[in-house]
Amino acid sequence: MIRKKTRKRWVHNKLLKEIELTNSLSSNVQNVDLNPELAINEKVLREIFKDCSDAIFRSIAICSDIKLMLIYIDGLSDTKTLDEVVLKPMMFDGLPDALGNLPRVEQIIEQHLVAIAQVQNVSKIADVVNGVLKGEVALLVDGVSKSLVADLKGFEKRSIEEPAAESTIRGPRDGFTEVLRINTSLVRRRVRSAKLKMEAITVGQVSQTDIVIAYIDGIAPDTILEEVRKRIQRIQIDGVMESNYIEEFIEDFTWSPFPQIQNSERPDVICSSLLEGKVAIFIDNTPFVLVVPMTFWSGLQAADDYYERSLYTTFIRIIRYSLFNIALLFPSLYVAIITFHPQLVPTTLLISIAASREGVPFPTIVETALMEFMFEGLREAGIRLPKSIGSAVSIVGALVIGQAAVQAGIVSAPVVIVVATTGIASFAVPRYNLGTSYRFLRFPMLILAGVLGIYGVVVGVFFIIIHLLKLRSFGVPYLSPVAPLIFKDLKDVFIRVPRWGMTHRPAFISGANKKRALEGQQPTPTRGRQDK
């Protein structure tokens, strides 16, 4: 008896020493197996969850001779289901009679006492700890070197709502939440095919964040898919709190002002991207899903472009592209023309501008940059303030500051008009990150215009175009299909042809299956004939 107790103590101490070898929890218990002795497993797990007040250890007995222990995290597991489905059958019903050929206790419990769909049999302490931290319930049995891990997640979650940043006039109203499996299920509802694959990866040594790589087999190119796997698997970080943590690790050019990875909260946008041959990256605890590769033109496309008739969409896109260029060039062109090339302005308009600038102490570039800075400050303040007062403060602030600045003679009225027009134009960009890149580039363009005039604006535009031509997103040219030119893929760039004309997927993204729809489906209305 003494020898047996000594051996138990030696095994227990050995396990604790192995756990203390490294600092991270995952490496502590990675290679440690569960012990048949329940007491030893309990001590090891209590040591791991030391000072974790939300970790619950519940001991129960079946038929007074089989000892069990339940381990779960309070707040992450569904305790109501745990009581009704697991505890009550075990404590009151006991072992069923006529078990047949099920001599092992863990088989009896798994197949007869635990009425839960998803139950895993694990043999490593690491698997038990990871399961408990995910909201699952671990069931350990005395005399068995394995544990049952039952899926009983029951934490609070946000309901499915329409994304505020990607609202549409016509289209679905659901959006992603912070729960990974809810997000993947929203995509499964739309793409009901076994070819839709979802590969799971865990990133974060401490956070242990679940990541899912989604793609459609046969449509997504193997080269892009393999590159996505490689870039995510090489990430070594302690925690992942949001999708940007992953985005900055896998993008091609970190110091480019233009985003190379698209993000969206809309399941329909993700599904349409998957059907084009792109790859989606789901990250747990965030409603934003990443899509790669991204092109410059996809950043200018909105969900409504595909829910309205093609004629309306083409008209709106022309307006949107015009406003996009105004958001970048309007302030710099105004500064360049007024400062260096006033002969380009009609005489009547030039006299009006000169009269409004009389008494203004600053040069045109200074007053324009000052108003741009104040406008960006008001926009940022409107975002950070509570929603109930944010919009009111930004609008009233813009009106009051603009009017007061003109009356005080600090800036001229045309500058206020130019800055306001530029701000409105920047709101027409569907993707926030792409609009931010143009807001960022507006200030270097102002400096070039103030120093070199219209020649500086031309030089700045050339530098931007050259940079866009060099930019890549997972090996795909950023300006595809315009540069390099793929004529047949221009059907969904500047214009959008009707659905019956979009028969092929983009050639620069899709894999082997490039056919999207059958050709020859153009409507051909005919007169109805009355049968005689």
For 405-461, how does the pLDDT look when each residue is reduced to its tens digit (9 = 90+)? 777 778 888 888 888 888 888 888 888 888 888 888 999 999 999 999 999 999 999
Would residue 214 count as lying in a domain?
A: yes
Asked if residue 508 has pLDDT above 90, the reply is: no
Q: Which two tokens stand for residue 525?
A: 């209305």
> For residues 396 and 378, is the Cβ–Cβ distance under 8 A?
no
Read off the pLDDT of each residue in 97-120 and give the average, rounded to a whole number: 55
Would residue 375 count as lying in a domain?
A: yes
Task: Tell the burial category of 486 from Cβ atoms under 10 Å away from its Cβ (0-12, 13-18, 19+).
Answer: middle
Q: How far is CA 18 from CA 13, 14, 32, 129, 172, in A?
A: 9, 6, 8, 16, 53
Would residue 41 count as lying in a domain?
A: yes
One domain, residues 240 and 316 = no
Last residue of a domain, one of 477, 500, 517: 477
Greater confidence, 373 or 24?
A: 373
Q: State the pLDDT at residue 135.
A: 85
One domain, residues 357 and 425 = yes
Q: State the pLDDT at residue 101.
A: 41
Give the global pTM: 0.84
One domain, residues 324 and 457 = yes
Sign of CA dihedral 158, 159, 160, 166: negative
Give the confidence band of 249 by pLDDT, cuts at 50, 70, 90. very high
Instruction: Return d(Cα 130, Cα 147) in angstroms, integer.
Output: 13
Q: Which two tokens stand for residue 201?
A: 């990866």
Asked if residue 23 has pLDDT above 50, the reply is: no
User: Any idea which of 27-31, 106-110, 312-316 has the lowest mean pLDDT?
Assistant: 27-31
Greater confidence, 511 or 93?
A: 511
> For residues 378 and 399, is the Cβ–Cβ distance under 8 A?
no
One domain, residues 146 and 266 = no
Before 331, cis peptide (omega within 30)? no
Residue type for position 390:
G
- The 10 Å CB-count burial string (b at 16+, else e) for 489-527 is bebbbeebeeeeebbebbebbbbeeeeeeeeeeeeeeee
Would residue 359 count as lying in a domain?
A: yes
Would residue 241 count as lying in a domain?
A: yes
Would residue 356 count as lying in a domain?
A: yes
pLDDT digits (tens, 9 = 90+) for 69-84: 889 988 888 777 777 7
One domain, residues 283 and 358 = no
Instruction: Return d(Cα 476, Cα 488) in angstroms, integer.
Output: 17
One domain, residues 12 and 94 = yes
One domain, residues 30 and 130 = yes
Q: State the pLDDT at residue 467.
A: 94
**How many domains does the structure of the chain reveal?**
3
Q: State the pLDDT at residue 1.
A: 52
Read off the pLDDT of each residue in 145-154 and give the average, rounded to a whole number: 83
pLDDT digits (tens, 9 = 90+) for 192-248: 989 999 999 999 888 889 999 999 998 999 999 999 999 999 999 999 999 999 999
Task: Tell the burial category of 74 from Cβ atoms under 10 Å away from its Cβ (0-12, 13-18, 19+).
Answer: exposed
User: Any idea which of 308-312, 408-412, 515-519 has the lowest mean pLDDT?
Assistant: 408-412
Q: Among candidates 167, 175, 433, which has minimal Cα distance to 289?
A: 175
Greater confidence, 12 or 476?
A: 476
One domain, residues 118 and 199 = no
Q: Which two tokens stand for residue 215?
A: 């793609």
Q: Where are the extended beta strands (E) located within 228-303?
A: 262-264, 279-283, 289-292
Last residue of a domain, one of 477, 502, 520: 477
Percentage of residues in the chain with pLDDT exceeding 90? 32
Last residue of a domain, one of 294, 326, 354: 294
Asked if residue 292 has pLDDT above 70, the reply is: yes
Q: State the pLDDT at residue 379.
A: 81
One domain, residues 336 and 289 = no
One domain, residues 209 and 268 = yes
One domain, residues 279 and 317 = no
Would residue 120 count as lying in a domain?
A: yes
Task: Tell the burial category of 265 from Cβ atoms under 10 Å away from its Cβ (0-12, 13-18, 19+).
Answer: buried
Q: State the pLDDT at residue 454.
A: 92
Give the confidence band of 532 by pLDDT, cuts at 50, 70, 90. very low
Q: State the pLDDT at residue 8.
A: 55
Give the confidence band of 67 by pLDDT, cuts at 50, 70, 90. confident
Give the confidence band of 4 by pLDDT, cuts at 50, 70, 90. low
Q: State the pLDDT at residue 402.
A: 74
Question: What residues make up the domain containing 248?
Answer: 180-294
Q: State the pLDDT at residue 25.
A: 44
Would residue 456 count as lying in a domain?
A: yes
Instruction: Return d(Cα 440, Cα 328) in angstroms, integer.
Output: 9
Q: State the pLDDT at residue 396.
A: 67
Q: State the pLDDT at residue 21.
A: 39
Name residue 200's beta-bridge partners. 212
The overall average pLDDT reported for the chain is 83
pLDDT digits (tens, 9 = 90+) for 253-290: 989 999 999 999 999 999 999 999 999 999 999 999 99
Q: How far is CA 289 from CA 137, 179, 283, 286, 522, in A?
A: 29, 12, 7, 8, 35
One domain, residues 469 and 442 = yes
Instruction: Return d(Cα 324, Cα 494) in angstroms, integer.
Output: 13
pLDDT digits (tens, 9 = 90+) for 174-183: 999 998 989 9
